[in-house]
Structure 1
């Protein structure tokens, strides 16, 4: 059997080679790489195979079939490349193999995650005594916040959810944007909210909730707002809506998977004005903060509300309300907050602000030059999202597919007002102005080719 340290050294070498190649790799794999994936279709072996053989298979067959989301020309899903500091911390976490459930299971994890929580509240300028749970995604963190919201509202009406369950309890309704992200609807569905419990708030021309057309809100209502609409990057008007909701006794939750990080920039934090008045917030690390995947935050103004909703104390594993197992869905968990700590420590306050400001500048340049090249820009580009349409649905879809085939870049398809579009998300710390130039040139060339094909 191969020595463990030799195997790990081989893994480190292969990983380093991959990272060194991201600038020149295809962003989307070619057909040959996709076809080679059939080599993984093996029967489960009766006798174990050598670990070094499996590692080689993953690298030599798997690496060519990756989407290079860790590179500079990936513009999909508002996902950033992993910062070196966060990626390195993630590797050390793997070596530690700590269950970050309690201080007793990992003193270092509990300590660093507590510091990371303070830093998150500081840089996002949210109430400093809020609870911060480090979860896998904005979906999972949204479930925790919405569960805390429902439980809190029921408690105010004298209903003991732990004792009596949901059946027969006071009905809770949820007001969401007509452009709400699907993961919020998923979270609500998992929590047992049906379509009749969810009221769609009308939006304005930019995709923001219209304060003048809000559904009726009362003290049995959860209001879900957005910091960064997934297509346009727009922000709901928090300063107008949140006071209305709070006056009615409602709970306000903000889905800020990527847009919440605009608060880190003095230049752009006006976009999030009033957001600090909400009751809970979610945001991802693996989007604009550029941490590895499985890194997100549930933030709750009332620490007791979140800790009571997520409590998982047992006779053999009891912790304080600050214990991460009492703030998140997971009992057995990785210390995801360490990745947030590593990213924030390496960037500092100024580095996060610079990242936000650079990406907004690059997004605005994309919009300006693509519009000059004949594309239609469907949004105002207030953040790092550029929603683009070519002459018609067919041309728009063809251009996106050709970009994918080229391996030069990748971004996803979308629709806006029933018409085909594609969404360019500028989120990676690796993306330079030269990468933006290359993307503009590629899209401009493909639009001219599309015009020639249609003649």
Structure 2
């Protein structure tokens, strides 16, 4: 089979799968062990490319999760827009190294344009630097690396040259309800989780601003503050104007983890939730969450481009300063890297400003519809549904676990579980462009059937 026919066949199989995802089981009943067995042992001899594709589809497709479908409500996962999916196929076919404008002028230029569009939509400063990374973990790590550089440089310490041995201790003021990627980033950056000063939160996971100010006042040395735009459980937002003012008054760098909620800024109806966020020093968000682009796609933005580049750029002479155009990899963790900008640009171009706002608004409205149907039937909703997140409890923790497992087994829809403030919940995240009111009603029906069973 020639390359053209092979690629057309592969794209057709992908399209077939995506079309079936609307009605197929959301979570497969095929185990990973079955896939492993079907893939077999390493062959001794070469195989025709067409046979390889056939074998992969036959082995893997029965165990695929229909996260591209309309009733997947786990992990804040979007469904990958059509244009973004097609652009990602092109990115694989073009096989560009997105390191800089010498390895790919197209990749560098598209990322540059997509970044400017993202900053405009998210209400971030136009001068902010941007890094296209793999997701929220990498974005938080990049931003906190820039923060580490900045606060230590102000204290007279060159962390890139001397490392952390002998450096002034950095204190990191964090919410008690922060995402786990913040702690992982601190471990990766050598700051350590013992550097954290946790801020108590209210019943929605919002940081107590008065307590934050007290911690900042009492802490000595360089300081970083981590805030949240959209708590991963409740969707709640910290008080950015008050918290950022307090942090800057004490010389702290402010990072906003906006993996989910920063997208609210793209909606005129929800933009008030992010009021004041532009005054922070860095921001992270995910494209493969609410922008509905394929994995892996995240963005790191920094109001101090020099600190961003100092923390992440390469210094090898043969890799820098080649043509003067912004080098995308100077602001990310990878050197050789996938050209992620193509899918992001395609998603934004397909949606436009109004389409993105509608996507955000619609998901939030559908989350409210889901919560309302459950609440009217005796289910406890554990959060104020201000965004696209719903926490549902069905009695005690054991009963909640039972209902969650029954729903997951049903194949009608899929959502994960979580623990928030000592209680277990079903966590429902409405993030896909494909989800309709009918899908919400069908999913709610499946949940209520399990609840009554």
Place the TM-score, normalised by the shorter chain, in its bin.
over 0.9
Residue aligning to 2:185: 187
- C-alpha separation in 2, matches of 1:119 and 1:391: 45
Q: 8 Å contact 1:117–1:132 — kept in the other structure?
A: yes
Pair 1:5 & 2:4 matched: yes
Matches within 5 A, 1:53-452: 53-214=51-212, 215-217=214-216, 220-319=222-321, 322-449=326-453
Describe the SS at the equivalent of 1:216.
helix
Query: Which 5+ residue runs of structure 2 have no aligned equivalent?
Result: none
Shift of 1:38: 4.0
Q: 1:45 aligns with which of 40, 43, 49?
A: 43
Cα separation, 2, equivalents of 1:134 and 1:210:
32
- Secondary structure of the 2:336 match is coil
Instruction: State the 1:3 CA deviation.
Output: 2.2
TM-score (norm 1): 0.96
Question: How far apart in 1 are the matches of 2:23 and 2:17?
Answer: 10
User: Equivalents in 1 of 2:398, 2:109: separation in Å?
Assistant: 54
Distance 2:337 2:44 in 1: 31
Aligned to 1:28: 27
CA RMSD after TM alignment: 1.4
1-structure distance, mates of 2:32, 2:251: 54
Q: 1:322 to 1:444 in 2, by over 3 A?
A: same
Displacement of 1:34: 5.3
CA deviations 1:52-94 (Å, max 9, x no partner) are 2221122122111111000000000011000001110000011
Question: Does the aligned pair in 2 maintain the 1:411–1:423 contact within 8 Å?
Answer: yes
- Structure 1: gaps (5+ residues): 450-455
Helix, strand or coil at the partner of 2:405 = helix
Please give the secondary structure, in 1, of the residue aligned with 2:392: strand
Q: Is the CA contact 2:39–2:56 (under 8 Å) kept in the aligned structure 1?
A: no
Q: Distance in 1 between matches of 2:18 and 2:222?
A: 50
What number of residue pairs does the alignment pair up? 447
Moved more, 78-87 or 216-225: 216-225
The answer (yes or no) to whether the contact 2:171–2:197 under 8 Å persists in 1 is yes
Corresponding position of 2:16: 17
State whether residues 413 and 420 of structure 1, in contact with CA within 8 Å, keep that contact through their aligned partners in structure 2. Answer: yes
* Residue 388 (structure 1) shift: 0.4
SS in 2 for 1:316: helix
Give the Å deviation of 1:20. 1.6
Per-residue CA deviation, residues 292-341 of structure 1 (Å, 9 max, x unaligned), is 01111000001111011111142222145831111000100111122211
CA deviation string 1:151-183 (max 9, x = no partner): 111111111223322111111110110011001
* Partner SS state of residue 414, structure 1: strand
Please say if residues 307 and 321 of structure 1, whose CA atoms lie closer than 8 Å, have aligned partners that are also in contact: no
* Farther off after superposition, 22-31 or 74-83: 22-31
Contact 1:219 1:249 in 2 (8 A): no
Counterpart contact for 2:168–2:221, Cα < 8 Å: no
Q: Would the alpha carbon gap of residues 164 and 40 (structure 1) be closer, same or farther in structure 2, given more than 3 Å must change?
A: same
Aligned to 1:452: none
For 1:395 and 1:58, how far apart are their aligned partners in 2?
39
> Conserved in 1, the CA contact under 8 Å of 2:164 and 2:190?
no
Tell me, what secondary structure is at the counterpart of 1:126? Answer: coil
- What CA distance in whole angstroms lies between the structure 2 residues aligned with 1:276 and 1:437? 37
Distance 2:350 2:112 in 1: 17
Question: Contact 2:122 / 2:266 at 8 angstroms: preserved in 1?
Answer: yes
Calculate the TM-score normalised by the size of structure 2.
0.96
